[in-house]
Amino acid sequence: MEVLGYFASLFIGISLGLIGGGGSILTVPILVYLFNVNPKLATTYSLFIVGLTAAFGAIRHYKMGNIKVKSAVYFAIPSLITLLLVRKIVLLRIPEIITITENYSVKRGMVIMVLFAILMVLASYSMIRTQKSIFNENQIKPLHLMFIGAAVGIITGFLGAGGGFLIIPALLFFAKMQMKQAVGTSLLIIGFNSLLGFLGDVINGVEMDYIFLLSIAFIAGIGIFIGTFLSKKMDGAQLKPIFGWFVLVMGIYIIAKELFL
């Protein structure tokens, strides 16, 4: 299963490079189901793997002129604030066993995976739905970007998901970007948020296997170079719905596995 996990890690980077998101949607299930990592720890690992991979991709997209810094700032600041609040306050207070009623309780790991799967199903909608926009600096809606940024920060903090599936539609709709600009700017935001969120966990004293982390990040890094190269040859907007259907199937599978199998 670990061999399959390392192979699957390549697609974390390919997804980020091609469509600017989806990498974190894959990372947590890969870590939990193929590497047997505890779900809570998997959210921390995901922040590092996705953050580092997205940062490499952002550098390449910056050189290609695909990053709009003004929109990234509007989005990143509120998302970072909510991310750190969730990681430092909320997540630490969730018990290992969550009591629902007097006779019924569930494990925290199962709750995280089910919530993540629901997120995957919702994310698949924004991926499957196609939308075309033209970037215009004067049409940026800062309050809308800041509000969605705060929501993405909560998701990133709780589930270790970069939120590209929310960032991309927001940049397309509220900042009127073209798809490749939204991809590059999304990678910058994801890299910034995820790495700082991971740093917060390091400060909190979370114990981690750094050799394992770096090995996964290295493979995902190769993937993002492949994805970025392919993005020059292929239309990411056309690939996004295909990936959306894949995410939908994976989300339904995880819900079925955690609740019924």
pLDDT for position 130: 62
Tokens of 247: 């995410």
Per-residue pLDDT of 15-57, as tens digits, reads: 888 777 667 778 888 999 999 999 889 888 998 998 898 898 8
Per-residue pLDDT of 238-251, as tens digits, reads: 777 877 788 788 88
Per-residue pLDDT of 210-234, as tens digits, reads: 999 999 999 999 998 888 888 777 7
User: Can you list the positions of beta strands (E) in the chain?
Assistant: 97-101, 104-107
What percent of the chain shows pLDDT beyond 70? 90
Rounded to an integer, what distance in angstroms lies between the CA atom of residue 163 and that of residue 18? 15
Domain range annotation of the chain: 2-260
The number of beta carbons lying within 10 Å of the beta carbon of residue 108 is: 16
Residue matched to tokens 């392919």: 230
pLDDT grade, residue 160 (50/70/90)? low
Cα 127 to chain center, whole Å? 13
Rounded to an integer, what distance in angstroms lies between the CA atom of residue 122 and that of residue 120? 5
Tokens of 65: 């002129």
| pTM (whole model) above 0.85 | no
Residue matched to tokens 């995820």: 194
Among 68, 72, 90, smallest CA distance to 190 is for 72
pLDDT for position 137: 53
